[in-house]
Amino acid sequence: MNADQLTDQLTDQLTHVVAGVRDPEIDIGLGDLGVLRSVSLTGDRIQVHLAPTRLGCPALGEITRRVRSAVADAAPGRGIEIVWERGAWQPASVTAAGRDALRDAGYRVAGAPPRCPYCGCDDVARAGRFGGAVCKVPYDCRGCGSPFDVIGTAGCTVTLHSVRGGSR
């Protein structure tokens, strides 16, 4: 294997490691949640690009710590740089496996008409415009009575009625 291949191999390995780091609030890996954007390796320096689900995400510090520690364990002795790409996350960033993991944890992702993550029923009602965290909107299932959250709704489906015309 030449040096490039080794670099590719280590990059793949580190990508896998960071993708597996758990989100502090929900039982899902950063890869499936779409928070991990990329891992790159230049010389002895590892750069991890992450995207918060919201600008106001309070978990950036904890996620940074976890990613640093996971990368340091997997590739000791290299410089690690964490870059937060603010505003880059979209509901579409969640992988198919991520949607399943979120469903199992009691969440749905914005972008499709919400169904209850527990019973699959589509008779659901929004229980408010804001949830317990900035990335969540609360819903209730009228079928089985379970509360659940939709991630990424506010700001992503906002109607732009109040901004007519351009700003130029």
Which range touches other proteins (CB under 8 A), out of 1-9, 70-78, 91-99, 128-136? 128-136
Q: What pairs with residue 150 in β-bridges?
A: 108, 137
Distances in Å between the alpha carbon of 63 and those of 22, 29, 48, 99, 127? 8, 11, 12, 20, 29
Sheet holding 136-141, edge to edge: 107-109, 147-151, 136-141, 124-126
Q: Which residue of 84, 93, 94, 98 would you call a contact of other proteins, by CB under 8 A?
A: 84
The residue with tokens 């309070």 is: 58
Which DSSP state fits 23?
P
Taking residues 90 to 109 in sequence order and writing x for each that binds other proteins by CB under 8 A, - otherwise, the string is --------------xxx---
Residue with structure tokens 């600008």? 55
Is 147 a binder of other proteins (CB under 8 A)? yes
Q: Which is nearer to other proteins, 6 or 142 (CB)?
A: 142
Q: Does residue number 123 form part of the binding site for other proteins (CB under 8 A)?
A: no
- DSSP letter assigned to residue 37: E
Which residues are at the interface with other proteins (CB under 8 A)? 24-27, 47, 49, 54-59, 61-62, 81, 83-88, 104-106, 118, 127-134, 136, 138, 140, 144-149, 154-156, 158-160, 162-163, 166-168
